[in-house]
Amino acid sequence: MTFGERLAAAMDEHGPLCVGIDPHASLLADWGLPDDASGLRSFARTVMEAVGGRVAAVKPQAAFFERHGSAGVAVLEEVVAAGRETGTLVVVDAKRGDIGSTMGAYADAFLRDGSPLAGDALTVSPYLGFGSLDPAVDLALSSGRGLFVLCLTSNAEGAQVQHARTAEGASVAAVMAARAAALNADAAVMGSIGLVVGATVGDAAARTGTDLSAVNGPLLAPGVGAQGAGADELAAVFGPARRQVLASSSRGVLRAGPDVAGLRKAALDASSEAAAALR
């Protein structure tokens, strides 16, 4: 099965929620864990014990693992392996973006069969031009994995680039969405090249002429829960594209830890809320 098909099935079975695994130093402290690789490992294992096999996907933020050096990257590899063992899709949130052989090397690290860092999908940045992602697109599609391409992000600075207009008058965000749509054109269920669209961007899609409904791929929506996006915000941002949305919640779930039962309840509650808002 393609990534798009696997994700659609997982969202139907478990609800349209992705649990972000973001081990901030402050969150490790809140859990009573040391800010080192041992604390990171305890944190990651607890989250996976709580939600593995119970939510559609998890999304480890690579930066919070990389800050601990090679020992932290080893823990990220363990999260990827735990996802595979529990049947939980893993979106590695690394936001890689470069050109030529360097982009090819990033693709090899995060998308190649046999790589310990290769989850089910990878977040990527297209702002060296969508074509710069070709090595990642090719390897993702040939290996049955997916990509989430940054499109409309919630940070204030993002609009400088994403809302800018090309010489032909289209917004940059609309161009990115159209390129993803072209790659997903023949997908029967849902394509494997998705977009990242912040759940708190309001009417940005309408203002930039970005047709999310035409993408025919998953829309990863960070910002659900603790960052303020609920049912009304999701409806405003995604409109008729709501069924394609994979809502991402990090702090809204993680603050229920370190108790496994508390984390599990928070995740299942968030998944039910996301389903009510999107399905």
Task: Write the CB contacts of 101 (distance below 8 Å, at least 6 apart in sequence).
Answer: none
Give the up-direction half-sphere exposure of residue 117: CA atoms within 13 A in the CB hemisphere.
20
The pairing of strands 193-197 and 146-152 is parallel
> Among 176, 240, 245, 162, which Cα is nearest to 208's?
162
Let me know if 265 is a catalytic residue: no
* Residue in 24, 45, 84, 95 annotated catalytic: 95
Domain count, the chain: 1
Per-residue pLDDT of the chain (279 residues; tens, 9 = 90+): 999 999 999 999 999 999 999 999 999 999 999 999 999 999 999 999 999 999 999 999 999 999 999 999 999 999 999 999 999 999 999 999 999 999 999 999 999 999 999 999 999 999 999 999 999 999 999 999 999 999 999 999 999 999 999 999 999 999 999 999 999 999 988 999 999 999 999 999 999 999 999 999 999 999 876 556 677 778 888 989 999 999 999 998 999 999 999 999 999 999 998 998 887
Could you tell me the pTM of the whole model? 0.96
**Which residues span the domain enclosing 15?**
3-278
The rounded distance, in Å, linking the Cα atoms of 110 and 123 is 10
Which domain CATH number covers 232? 3.20.20.70
* Chain position carrying tokens 């590695």: 92
